[in-house]
Amino acid sequence: MAKLLVVDDNQSICKLIHGFFSDLKGHTVYTTNVPTEAPDLVREHNPDLALLDIMMPDIHGIDLLKQLREIKRELKAITISAVDDEDIAREAMERRAVEYVTKPLHLNYLDTQVTFQLMS
């Protein structure tokens, strides 16, 4: 099974994703609702895939993606946003995010994306 990192300032979203991917899918899932903790989690746990919220206090998810890639260049990331914004989605993809998913989350769709990225 894979190791996933979830970074979202909304603790409910972290719990939802953790429960789905850990309890139902058997992955190891590390979560934080404090974005500044994410670099340490990448160093400590070496996740295969990160799920990053875009709009968070203190740091934009795109900037966090850049920081995490400086630690682990090959880290795959799916960006998550409550805003369906083409410019933000384009920027995320330019920063090599593998997918841009909007809230409300559809867990089956997210599962499909995670599974695809882990297999590729």
Tens digit of pLDDT for each residue in 4-57?
Answer: 999 999 999 999 999 999 999 999 999 999 999 999 999 999 999 999 999 998
Q: Residues 48-86: pLDDT tens digits? A: 999 999 999 889 999 999 999 999 999 999 999 988 888
pLDDT for res 90: 86
- How far is 103 from 44, CA to CA, in rounded Å? 29
pLDDT-derived band at 95 (thresholds 50, 70, 90) equals: confident
Q: Which two tokens stand for residue 67?
A: 């920081």
CATH of domain 3-119: 3.40.50.2300
Domain coordinates of the chain in residue numbers? 3-119
Residues 6 or more apart whose Cβ sits within 8 Å of residue 5: 29, 30, 31, 32, 38, 41, 42, 45, 47, 49, 50, 51
